[in-house]
Structure 1
Amino acid sequence: MLQIYCKNNNSTKDFAEGSSLLDIYKGFNLQMPYGPVSAKVNNKVESLDFRVYYNKDIEFLDITSPSGMRTYVRSLCFILVKAVEELYPTGSISLEHPVSKGYFCDLHIGRPVKLEDVSAIKQRMQELIAEDIPFQRIECHTEKVVHLFRERGMTDKAQLLETSGQLYSYYNRLGDTVDYYYGSLVPSTGYIRLFDIVKYYDGLLLRIPNRQNPDHLEDVVKQEKMLEVFQEYHRWNQIMGLSTVGDFNTACNDGHATDLINLSEALQEKKIARIADEITNRGENGERVKLVLISGPSSSGKTTFSKRLSIQLMTNGLKPYPISLDDYFVNREDTPLDENGQHDFESLYALDLPFFENQLKELIAGKEIELPRFNFTTGKREFSGKKLRIDEHTILILEGIHALNPALTPNIPAENKYKIYVSALTTILLDRHNYIPTTDNRLLRRIIRDAKYRNYSATQTIARWPSVRAGEDKWIFPYQENADAMFNSALLFELAVLKDYVEPILRKVPNNCPEYSEAHRLLRFLAYFVSVPDKEIPPTSLLREFLGGSSFQY
């Protein structure tokens, strides 16, 4: 017999060797309102059909947890893929990126997608769910799995596994449909309780439940600009023949890593130059732009972007001047408190908005101001003695999480402002049915930067990440579509470069702490990439903000 400790109810019980996680769930008589979809076994996420042969700590997960939601979405995607395979035997579908609180899917059927197609796909998905078909996971030699995928024309998956260097691999089966998903799936299709699929521009939007309220679907949020950025980069990837990680790995193994680095860096520089030109030329015959507002989530590379944009603006004859929002904090005793009674420094209202806006208005009107400086030791605003007056060639650069919030500069004329949203919008796919979360890209950057410059362990960074994300959801993401321009700071090659830096840091996360689950998931994900050394990355690269070796001062 085995001893199983269940974290959900803090109790221990004996089970027979070889019991599945689902057997154990039933044995503890747990009543999770949204049912389990997966479980952490000694802090590693496993499918509910995983069998236990030794004493374990187990925590069952539902879709209110990030890991549980990932399991749910993967399983739902597999059902979508099967429905498309059955309805369009010569067609295919790509699950491309998260957008509008759902997942954008590109349906390839040789003609434009019609509403009847969407209805047929949704109906077939509902039928598959009602049939409660089991998901299977079959493990065998990698060469056999690769052969299976090549036989079925799934070269993206074959390439991914071929270049991963693993002796054994697995594939997933749902009835007659074969696929590959890098993570746990629910036991059967009947576990999917709620979803929707709707026509969305030239493709489909797969809608999922809200994590906080799983009885309701996420609201569809308008994100036209975000979708346009994703699709622009996907088109570029397709032209280059590098849509998936398997394509990328093959190109690197063939000796093209340096070419990919140079191309990616040149593409970003071209984008920055275009934004600088638009800022310079806007309002040439009237009120010109005097304030550039730059926002984006954590580890999006805003600081390096600001510096590179400033250089491009200087080449256009302008004089960029950086303004730090940190110097406009209210005195510490006036800082608003969060729900835990702690100072909420991420709140918009931690800033002295009237004072900040008054200084901007005076600057734009051509008046001289004395710049403030916030003393973080005393928690008080001081005046630096530094005076500023801007002339016709000066342009203010303001970078911060609230930069796109209309409440920051409500009375500054629109013609005087240019708003930019920066984020690492990862566009390469693991394969056609597995997208790469953009948040993973940013989390890996932050783990490296925190370890290098702040002496934080990966455990500490991972533990803080949910609160960082909550702040982004509240203060950044609702305003991203206000931007005049969106800049994608993700580089095609960067995950292959980050790999060598971040793997040793992630391996230090002990498996007896909750953060081990996320560290383990990220290590498994990075294993799909070949390593690319950073020696060819230029000192002006956005990636140098995190890796070190930048020619910019921070």
Structure 2
Amino acid sequence: MKQQMCKITIQGTEREYPRETTFQQIADEYQSQMENDIVLVKFQQDLRELHQSVLRDGELEFITTAEKPGRDTYRRSVTLLMEAAAWKLYPNLELLVQHSIGQGYYCEFRHADAICVPDQKMLQALKEKMQAFVEADLPIVKYNMSTQDASARFRQMGRMDKVRLMRYRRSSRVNVYELQEFPDYYYGYMVPGTGYLKYFDLIPYQNGFMLMFPGKETRKVADFEVTDKLFNTLNDSAQWGIDMGIRTVGELNDVIAAGRIQDMILVQESYMEQKIGDIAETIAADRRKKFVLIAGPSSSGKTTFSHRLSIQMTAHGLKPHPISLDDFYCNREETPLDENGEYDFECLEALDIPLFNQCMTDLLAGKEVILPVFNFKTGHREYRQKPLKLGAEDVLVIEGIHGLNEKLSYELPKENKYKIYISALTQLNIDDHNNLSTADGRLIRRMVRDARTRNTSARETLTRWNSVRRGEEKNIFPYQEEADVMFNSALIYELSVLKLYAEPLLFSIDADCPEYPEAKRLLKFLDYFLPVPGENIGHNSILREFIGGSCFHV
């Protein structure tokens, strides 16, 4: 019988392959033409793993480690490699993937809920075992199992984090990956074998270690930049979650299913208000602080935080004055252009820095100043506010993406500045080996807010997100450790609330759109969470900035 052939269009050229040819076989033909390693393919706008086969005609695109789906696949696969190697070496220890920091994951060994701090010899042995697995090019086997069977298998292994997560899965089947007889469940795709996983490192840090991945150079492990302030903020939030009995999504779902979520909402809002109050008290204790500079990435809740901080500062006898750095934009014709010849509103040079420093130093000197207001319709600054003069209790609360960059406020004495970094640093993990991306949480916040306030579709938000992320990596993240304090605006239950708003937006993206694979991924991500109605959320909550109903003008 004649072999059935499939017509596959690759890089604009149509080729024929026998039906059942794997995508890995096709990728191997083209790998030498690619600058980066192929780890997935996109077939007819749908992401596919390399072990899968061609079953029909279609258009094929290679996904490499230079692209987000490819990077995520690589990181996920290296995590499984690490977990399997650790299971072989240290079967009596539990290895937890805790936080994403820079280009790596912070991990800890535990025994009977106590941290077991690894020494250099222990990490070296683990690294060598991982490298041995890579050199052996072992298969990563994928099983599609009933959720019930998978849950029973993990229960037998004592891995109750997986059991609890699967209790709330709507799907009757799940994908389980296995390496060297070590099974695990992961949120997303995998490479077909360990031979793909050549680039990683293990670096001791705090009470555990960093599992490091490549960064922009996809075939070189990124350097680890110590970020103790960020780590401590993440760790404090995670410890609070542990104290509340909510470390994973499964434990959060337990609280929701038991009808205890309203109490948890009240407890967390109280905890957050206490944190904001502590910051206000610190500012009030040093009357030299006249400029409170607040910066953070997109959808961190900066506006609501600024309002709540101002209220707490007022309660401590101060008179806060909110200022947006956007009002110090250069006039439109003076705005720098980016590499595409378009206005670059995110670069530092888009602000009139000399004007900002002149206004601030004049205020500090006790002078009366009329601050500008930027008219976004005309593209020019206007002067229509009442003059401002700083008294003993007056403090400027300045919000903008460049607030932590010393080049912005270079003329202001350090003792007069108090810098705050705010971000939604999700403290939950999906389970012990799958952490939640803080970027995903902020993306969903932004999607919900922009659909409500700007009539922006989910597709438009997804299209712009990579550009937003590039701006954050350039203008915000490099300066986060310069903050005097970090504030985590993530709420432990927020994705359960946002789920009800985000899912309809994501379902509106058609299967033939380029953004469809990302929408599909986010829908699967939200499917882990039981829903929580938005009416349970207080009107001064940071979450109200995104779902609506805030008592502040946001």
Q: TM-score under structure 1 normalisation?
A: 0.96
Answer yes or no: is 1:223 the counterpart of 2:233: no
- Give distance in 2, aligned partners of 1:536 and 1:193: 48
Q: What is the letter of the counterpart of residue 133 of structure 1? A: L
Contact 2:372 2:384 in 1 (8 A): yes
- Give distance in 2, aligned partners of 1:2 and 1:451: 45
Answer yes or no: is 1:172 the counterpart of 2:177: yes
- Pick closer, same or farther for the CA change 1:259–1:385 going to 2, 3 Å: closer
Q: What is the letter of the counterpart of residue 370 of structure 1? A: I
- Pick closer, same or farther for the CA change 1:179–1:32 going to 2, 3 Å: same
Q: Secondary structure at the match of 1:51?
A: coil
- Give distance in 2, aligned partners of 1:475 and 1:27: 40
Q: Secondary structure at the match of 1:145?
A: helix
Instruction: Out of 271-280 and 15-24, give the one that drifted further.
Output: 15-24
Answer yes or no: is 1:145 the counterpart of 2:150: yes
Contact 1:100 1:222 in 2 (8 A): no
Count of residue pairs the alignment pairs up: 548
Answer yes or no: is 1:243 the counterpart of 2:242: no
Instruction: Out of 96-105 and 304-313, give the one that drifted further.
Output: 96-105
Structure 2 residue aligned with 1:95: 97
Q: Deviations over 1:84-134 (max 9, x none)?
A: 111111101111111142111112256422111111111111111111110
Answer yes or no: is 1:265 the counterpart of 2:259: no
- Pick closer, same or farther for the CA change 1:553–1:165 going to 2, 3 Å: same
Contact 2:131 2:198 in 1 (8 A): no
- Give distance in 2, aligned partners of 1:215 and 1:46: 22
- Give distance in 2, aligned partners of 1:6 and 1:357: 57
Q: Secondary structure at the match of 1:98?
A: strand
Deviation at 1:232, TM superposition (A): 0.7
Q: What is the letter of the counterpart of residue 330 of structure 1? A: C
- Give distance in 2, aligned partners of 1:431 and 1:542: 26
Instruction: Out of 295-304 and 190-199, give the one that drifted further.
Output: 190-199
- Pick closer, same or farther for the CA change 1:385–1:151 going to 2, 3 Å: closer
Q: How does 1:305-324 map to 2 (within 5 A)?
A: 305-324=305-324
- Give distance in 2, aligned partners of 1:46 and 1:176: 24
Answer yes or no: is 1:124 the counterpart of 2:154: no
Deviation at 1:343, TM superposition (A): 1.1
Structure 1 residue aligned with 2:187: 182
Deviation at 1:27, TM superposition (A): 5.9
Q: Deviations over 1:262-301 (max 9, x none)?
A: 1221111111111111111125xxxx21110000000110
1:12 pairs with 11, 14, 17, which one? 14
Structure 2 residue aligned with 1:59: 61
Contact 2:31 2:37 in 1 (8 A): no
Structure 2 residue aligned with 1:37: 39
Structure 2 residue aligned with 1:546: 546
Q: TM-score under structure 2 normalisation?
A: 0.96
Structure 1 unaligned spans of 5+: none
Instruction: Out of 489-498 and 108-117, give the one that drifted further.
Output: 108-117
- Give distance in 2, aligned partners of 1:29 and 1:117: 36
Answer yes or no: is 1:192 the counterpart of 2:192: no
Contact 1:323 1:397 in 2 (8 A): yes
- Give distance in 1, aligned partners of 2:433 and 2:492: 18
Deviation at 1:309, TM superposition (A): 0.4
Structure 2 residue aligned with 1:498: 498
- Give distance in 2, aligned partners of 1:408 and 1:542: 27
Structure 2 residue aligned with 1:201: 206
- Give distance in 2, aligned partners of 1:34 and 1:389: 57
Deviation at 1:417, TM superposition (A): 0.8
- Pick closer, same or farther for the CA change 1:4–1:161 going to 2, 3 Å: farther
Deviation at 1:11, TM superposition (A): 2.0
Contact 1:4 1:58 in 2 (8 A): no
Contact 2:23 2:41 in 1 (8 A): yes
Instruction: Out of 482-491 and 252-261, give the one that drifted further.
Output: 252-261
Q: What is the letter of the counterpart of residue 141 of structure 1? A: S
Contact 1:163 1:250 in 2 (8 A): no
Structure 2 unaligned spans of 5+: none
Q: Deviations over 1:313-358 (max 9, x none)?
A: 1111111101121111111111111111111111111111111101
Q: What is the letter of the counterpart of residue 11 of structure 1? A: T
Deviation at 1:2, TM superposition (A): 5.3
Contact 1:423 1:487 in 2 (8 A): yes
